[in-house]
Amino acid sequence: MKYCRLCNSKNIIKSFLSPDTHGRHLNNNNCYQMYYCNSCTAFFLGKEETKSNYFSLSYPPNYYSTSSFFSKFIMSIFGLFSQKKHLIISRHFSKKTKIKILDIGCCRGEFLNGLPSNRFKKFGVEINPQVAKIASLSGLNIITGDINQIDFKTKKFDCITMWHVFEHLPNPSKTIQQISKILKPNGLLIFTVPNSNSIGFKYGHKNFFHLDSPRHLFIPNEKSLEKLLQQSDLTKITFKNPFLEYPLDLFWSIRKSNIKYIIYPFYLIFKIFSPELLQVTATKPAKLNKTK
C-alpha cells in the first residue's frame, strides 16, 4: 500500500495485523495488514479487494442470511431505527416536501421500507443482484450495481444515506464525489461508520467490535471524515453518537484489556461519551463558493 484510502497521502505507516472478525466472533486465522495515515489519522487495509477471490471469501452467501433468530429479531426492530432516522431527515426539509431519498447499500430495503411513503420517494442502490431482487419485490426503486459506476444522468436526490456501508467501499473519496454530484443543493447526506478515535478501538485494538476485517476496508474518525467531505464541497458537518444502536460493542471491544475494570462499572457513562460509531451528517450548499 503506497497511499491512504481516504486522503491519498503517502505519509502512511504499517500499524497492526487485523484478524478476520465479525463483531466479537473470530471467523478464521487470517490476518490483514492495517495501515495508519499520519495525515488524516484514519486506519485502513491494503488492497484486499483487488484479490480475485476477495468477494466470494469475504461475502459468502450466508453473509446476507436472516435465518437465525437473532437476525430476524434485528430485522423486526429495524423499523424502530428507521423511524428515529426518518425524523432526523424530515427535520431538514419543509413539511410540504416529498423527500427523494437514495439509500446506498440498501440490502433488502429494511430501512427504506420503514420510511413513510407519504413523506418519502424511495430509491436504493445494492451491489448484490440477488439481494437487490428481494428489495425490488417490496416495490422499491432499486438500482443494481456499484455506486461509483452508475450513471444517474440528471437524477438528483434530496437525501442520501449509507448505514454501515461506507466503510465497505474501496474508494471512499470517489464515492463522496459521486454523492456530492447527485445530491441536490441543500441536500442532506447522513451515514454511520466505525470510529477509530474511540475507547473501544484505542484499547481493544484488534478486538474492536466494529473492526470486521477484511470487509471494513477502513476505520475513519472525525478528522479524516471532515477532510474527506470538505474536499467534495459538503458543509455543515456534524457528528453524533448513536450509542443505542450497538449497546454492547464497547463491552466486547475491551474484554481482553485491563481497562475493562475501570470502564465496566461505569459502562453507560463511557458508552454515551465515547462514540464507537459516528453518525455523520453533511449538506450540499445551495450555492458553491466559486472563488476557491
Domains in the chain, please, with CATH? 79-283 (3.40.50.150)
Q: Which residues contact 47 (CB under 8 A, 6 or more apart)?
A: 1
Amino acid at 100: K
- Average pLDDT, stretch 73-78? 46
Least confident of 79-83, 167-171, 205-209: 79-83
Per-residue confidence at 7, pLDDT binned at 50, 70, 90? Answer: very high
The whole-angstrom separation of Cα 264 and Cα 199 is 12
**C-beta separation of 194 from 276 below 8 A:** yes
pLDDT of residue 53: 86
Report how far residue 235's alpha carbon sits from residue 282's, in angstroms, rounded to the nearest whole number. Answer: 6
d(CA 159, CA 90) in angstroms, rounded, equals 10
Q: Please state whether beta strands 235-240 and 277-283 pair in parallel, antiparallel, or not at all (unpaired).
A: antiparallel
Q: pTM of this prediction?
A: 0.90
Q: What are the beta bridge partners of residue 235?
A: 283
Q: pLDDT at position 83, please?
A: 55
DSSP assigned state of 136: H
Chain center to CA of 46: 19
Mean pLDDT of the chain: 89
CA 235 to chain centre: 19
Read out DSSP for 168-199? Answer: G-S-HHHHHHHHHHHEEEEEEEEEEEE-SSSH
* pLDDT value at 219 more than 50: yes
Query: What's the one-letter identity of residue 180?
Result: S
DSSP state, residue 225 = H
Q: What is the model's pLDDT at position 289?
A: 56
